[in-house]
A = this chain, B = another copy of it.
Amino acid sequence: MVKPIRKALKKVGLKPGSVVYVGEHRTEDVKIDVVDYTEREHKEKRVERIEDCFPFKESPTASWINISGIHNADIVERIGSHFGIHPLVLEDIVNTGHRPKMDEAGDYICVVLKMLYKSSGDGELKAEQVSILFGKNWVITFQETGEDVFDVVRQRIKRAVPRVRFMSSDYLAYSLVDAVVDNYFVVLEDLGERIETLEDSLAENSGPASLGTIRELKRELIFMRKAVWPLREVIGGLERTESDLVQEATGPYLRDLYEHTIQVIDTVETFRDMVSGLLDLYHTGVSNRMNEIMKVLTIIATIFIPLGFLAGVYGMNFDTSTSPFNMPELAYRYGYLLFWSLAVLIGGGLFMFFRHKKWL
Contacts and interface: CB of A to CB of B under 8 A. Distances in A.
Interface of A: 1-2, 5-6, 8-9, 11-13, 15-16, 86, 88, 91-92, 97-99, 101, 152, 156, 175, 178, 182-183, 185-186, 188-189, 192-193, 195-196, 203, 208, 211-212, 215, 218, 222, 226, 252-253, 256, 259, 262-263, 266-267, 270, 273-274, 277, 279-281, 283-284, 286, 288, 290-291, 293-295, 297-302, 304-309, 311-320, 322-323, 325-327, 329-337, 339, 343, 357, 359
Contact of A291 (B97, B99, B290, B343): B290
A330 B334 contact: no
A13 to B, nearest CB: 5
A143 to B, nearest CB: 18
Nearest to A179: B13
10 contacts: A2-B195, A13-B152, A15-B156, A101-B259, A279-B280, A309-B311, A311-B312, A323-B333, A325-B337, A326-B332
Protomer copies: 5
A12 B186 contact: yes
Given A222-B274, A226-B266, 17 more contacts: A2-B195, A2-B274, A98-B263, A279-B280, A297-B302, A301-B301, A305-B308, A307-B309, A308-B312, A311-B313, A315-B315, A315-B316, A319-B331, A322-B332, A323-B332, A326-B330, A326-B335
A102 B231 CA distance: 22
A316 B318 contact: no
A325 B316 contact: no
Nearest to A211: B284
